Amino acid sequence: MDTTSLTSLANEHLQIARAANSGRSAHTVFGGHDCVLRQTLIALIGGQFLAEHDSPGEATLQVLHGEVRLVDDSHSLDMVSGDFTPIPGVRHRLEAIADAVVLLTVVQLH
Per-residue pLDDT 10s for the chain (110 aa) are: 889 999 999 999 999 999 999 999 999 999 977 888 999 999 999 999 999 888 777 999 999 999 999 999 999 999 999 999 999 888 999 999 999 999 999 998 76
Rounded-to-integer distance, Cα 101 and Cα 109, Å: 25
Count how many domains the chain has. 1
Q: What pLDDT is stored for residue 81 in this prediction?
A: 98
Asked whether the CA dihedral 1, 84, 89, 56 is positive or negative, the reply is negative
Task: Measure the CA–CA gap between 8 and 19, rounded to whole angstroms.
Answer: 17
pTM for the full model?
0.93
The answer as to whether 50 is a domain residue is yes
Distance CA 6, CA 43 (A): 12
86 neighbors 98 (Cβ within 8 angstroms): no
pLDDT at 84: 98
Domain-located, residue 1: no
Which residues lie below 8 Å from residue 37, measured CB to CB, with a gap of 6+? 30, 31, 105, 106, 107
Strands 76-80 and 49-53: unpaired
The predicted pLDDT at position 1 comes to 82
Domain range for 26 is 6-107
Q: What is the CATH number of the domain that holds 54?
A: 2.60.120.10
